[in-house]
């Protein structure tokens, strides 16, 4: 039987900020692997394969030490959740090779907006005017970041937008899994299925990585495993509505990493677009918190 974690907002906030730092680090390493920084660029499918391969190894090594209690997994939900998660992260890794990390990260924050929209037909949820207005605001921010002019349009930004849509779908299945199983078991199952999917997909594009690229692939997997562990433990210790705003620290870390390692400073368009998306996403999170507190 799964025993809930003790509630602590302070611990949850710290864990989410730590997760944000590690998630931003994975996109930084994916950017290096998708460009010629350390050799012939690797395909996004191979980068996501490395992410699942090394995360799988790290989590199962931890499981051997911790010996968590395992119950019967809900395989159908896990398969659906992991399929969308793998597709979303692959598109995200593809996008960061061409656009700034801050832009890609900001666009990825649209995933709760798309999850809200998808929850209407899939979960039968009702969406009021306030939720829709928050969603429209966030989408306007995405349009700004897409820079839809002939001179500045970035086609690769559409990859990040596609990732946000797909990860929004993943959130639907995460909602269905919530509370059903031990968080650590969810991570084990997710990364085991993900490795199987990624291993099949990578066959056609596989190439031998350089030693430095192997190190980065391992870094992505380990950082993602740590980030996921921090995230699920944060979610177990506080309400999602409290935790969600702290995840926006990922944007800060992404911009910082891009500036330090690639000398890529965010421009005015990035600041404006990111601010609009964050305003919409935060408004949506606060609205969800009020609805939960009111029992709606």
HSE toward the beta carbon, residue 257, CA cutoff 13 A = 25
Residue 169 pLDDT grade (very low, low, confident, very high; cuts 50, 70, 90) = very high
**pLDDT top residue among 77 and 180:** 77
pLDDT (mean) for 231-242 = 73
pLDDT (mean) for 268-280 = 86
Q: Please report which helix (H) or strand (E) contains residue 274, including its range.
A: helix 268-294
User: Phi and psi dihedrals of 230, rounded to 5?
Assistant: -60, -40
**Which pTM was predicted?**
0.85
Q: Which residue has the tokens 């974690």?
A: 5
* Separation of first and last alpha carbons in the chain: 29
Lookup: tokens for 293:
């507190």
pLDDT of 1 strictly over 50: no
Lowest mean pLDDT among 9-18, 180-189, 236-245: 236-245
Could you tell me the residue ranges of all domains in the chain? 9-294
Percent residues over pLDDT 90 in the chain: 44
Crossing angle, helix 9-34 and helix 44-66, to 10 degrees? 140
> What ranges in 70-182 are assigned the alpha helix state H?
75-95, 101-108, 111-123, 129-146, 157-177
pLDDT of 214 strictly over 80: yes
DSSP sequence for 184-200: HHHHHHHHHHHHHHHHH
């Amino acid at each position: 039987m799964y025993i809930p974690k003790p509630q602590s907002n302070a611990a949850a906030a710290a864990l989410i900020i730590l997760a944000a730092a590690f998630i931003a680090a994975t996109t930084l390493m994916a950017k290096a692997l998708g460009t010629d920084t350390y050799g012939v660029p690797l395909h996004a499918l191979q980068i996501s394969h490395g992410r699942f391969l090394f995360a799988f190894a790290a989590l199962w090594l931890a499981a051997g030490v911790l010996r968590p209690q395992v119950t019967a997994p809900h395989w159908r939900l896990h398969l659906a959740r992991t399929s969308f998660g793998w597709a979303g992260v692959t598109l995200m890794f593809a996008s960061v090779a061409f656009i700034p990390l801050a832009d890609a990260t900001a666009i990825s924050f649209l995933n709760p907006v798309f999850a809200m929209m998808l929850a209407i037909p899939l979960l039968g949820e009702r969406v009021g005017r306030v939720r829709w207005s928050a969603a429209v605001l966030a989408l306007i921010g995405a349009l700004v970041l897409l820079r839809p002019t002939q001179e500045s349009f970035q086609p690769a930004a559409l990859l990040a937008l596609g990732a946000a849509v797909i990860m929004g779908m993943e959130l639907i299945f995460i909602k269905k899994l919530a509370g059903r199983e031990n968080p650590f078991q969810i991570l084990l199952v997710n990364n085991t299925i993900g490795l199987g999917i990624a291993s099949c997909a990578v066959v056609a594009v596989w190439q031998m990585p350089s030693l430095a690229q192997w190190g980065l692939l391992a870094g992505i997997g380990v950082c993602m495993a740590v980030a996921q562990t921090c995230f699920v433990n944060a979610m177990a210790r506080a309400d999602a509505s409290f935790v969600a705003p702290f995840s926006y620290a990922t944007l800060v870390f992404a911009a910082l990493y891009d500036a330090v390692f690639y000398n890529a400073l965010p421009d005015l368009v990035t600041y404006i677009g990111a601010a609009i998306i964050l305003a919409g996403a935060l408004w949506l999170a606060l609205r969800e918190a009020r609805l939960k507190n009111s029992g709606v």
